[in-house]
Each structure stands twice: as C-alpha cells, then as structure tokens.
Homo-oligomer: A and B are copies of this chain.
C-alpha cells in the first residue's frame, strides 16, 4: 500500500521576528474552524531569524535583506508550499521581487488589511497606521489603501516614531508585556489626530497589544497578523467545494467599526 502524502501546504516565511512568525501560525490555527487535528491547514514555517533588519536595509543603513528574502521564498517553494504568507509588513516593501522569484502566489499583507477594512465598510473612516518608520516613510500602506479608496492617517512625529519603535523592539526582546504602554500611547496619539480605527501594520504590534487588553484601547484595531491568516485560510479553502462564505473575524468595539 502506498500513501498519498501530497496536499496543499501553506508556506510561511517567518523569523521577522521569530515570535511574530509562530504567532501567525497560532492565529491561523485559532481562526480555522476545526474540531480535530486533521481539519487544520498543513503548514511549512521557514523561520530564518538571520534575515537582516528590514527597516535598516530598506533605508540603506544596513545589510540588504532581499537576497535572504528571496532565499526564504525559494526554500519554501522547493519544500513544496502552494502559496506563501509573510508575517512581516516591512518585508512587503520587496513583495514584487519576492513574487518574481517563485511561481507560487505570495499573499500581500497590506492587501489582506484592505480586504478587512472593506469588509467592515470603513471606506469613509480615517484609518490610523502604526508601523515601522520605514514602512510609513515608504508609503506602502498609503499607496495601496488609496488605490482601494481608503484613507490612511499617519503620524511621523519623533515621539510617535519613538514609541512605536520601542513597542516593536520590546516584543523582539521577549518583553511583550512591557510593550503595551508604548503601543497603547500610539493608539491614543492617532485617536487625537482623528483616527477612527488603527491598523497594526507591523507584526510585532499585535503581540504588544494582546486580545485581552484591546478593549481598554481608545480605538478598535485591525490586526495585520489576523488579516493575513484569514487571507491564507481563504487561499487554502478556495479549492474546497464545501467552502462557505467567510464570516467576519473581528468583533467591533465601536459602533460602525
């Protein structure tokens, strides 16, 4: 008897940071309606924390991460992945080059956030962005959201950038609990600027603002780890004839949002 081991595997390029990569896989599992192991998404996580810092690389202050990103995408393709999700927003500055390096789809994290914003009918809302300074300065979210008719509100004050970077750095140092205050203060600052909702546009930030504490924030948040996991789940289920339309994955903590 021979067993057929083939099947659709989701490839995950992780390590940026390592915690965000594994947290993504964990959220994918949590968002999968399953009652037994065999109903979950087969996944290959290629976690390569050696990938050089993306913000420094993009701003040419540090080593170029692109060869490492392409290596990761190529390894996942070689290992047998059918699509790739990359739980690191800043890495998507090289999305085009990574896509060109493989013949399988590389999901786009900003696209997944836009889908969620539209699902929540936030076309007329002011959408605050928390991200690395590199992501914000590169205008990636602003550009993709504008294309979808969504209004992106950013802050580039030194204080906002400092607090946002601090929250991200503490998560990378395994001190997620300590990161809450700085991240919550950023939400506060975006609320003061008139934001209706805040996109957590760096995958360390959902760890700084864990679910249990989100109700204490002034604004609801859109979590780019969860939106990417939902996109991945849709990809995985798209060949399933029993696939039901996707239910909203997030509950609102503010009317209309």
Contacts and interface: CB of A to CB of B under 8 A. Distances in A.
A22 B25 contact: yes
Nearest to A26: B22
B49 A39 contact: yes
A64 to B, nearest CB: 9
Interface in A13-72: 15-19, 22-23, 25-26, 29-30, 34-53, 67-68, 71
Copies of the chain in the assembly: 2
Contacts of A49: 37-42
A65 to B, nearest CB: 10
A174 interface: yes
Nearest to A174: B30
| Interface size range on A against B | 35 or more
Contacts of A29: 18-19, 22, 174
B68 A79 contact: no
A31 to B, nearest CB: 9
A47 B9 CA distance: 9
Contacts of A185: none
A35 to B, nearest CB: 5
Contacts of A53: 37
A15 B3 contact: no
A88 to B, nearest CB: 10
29 contacts: A3-B68, A3-B71, A5-B67, A5-B68, A7-B50, A17-B40, A18-B29, A18-B37, A18-B43, A22-B25, A22-B45, A23-B26, A25-B25, A26-B26, A34-B173, A34-B174, A35-B172, A36-B172, A37-B49, A37-B50, A37-B51, A37-B53, A37-B172, A41-B49, A42-B47, A42-B48, A42-B49, A44-B46, A45-B47
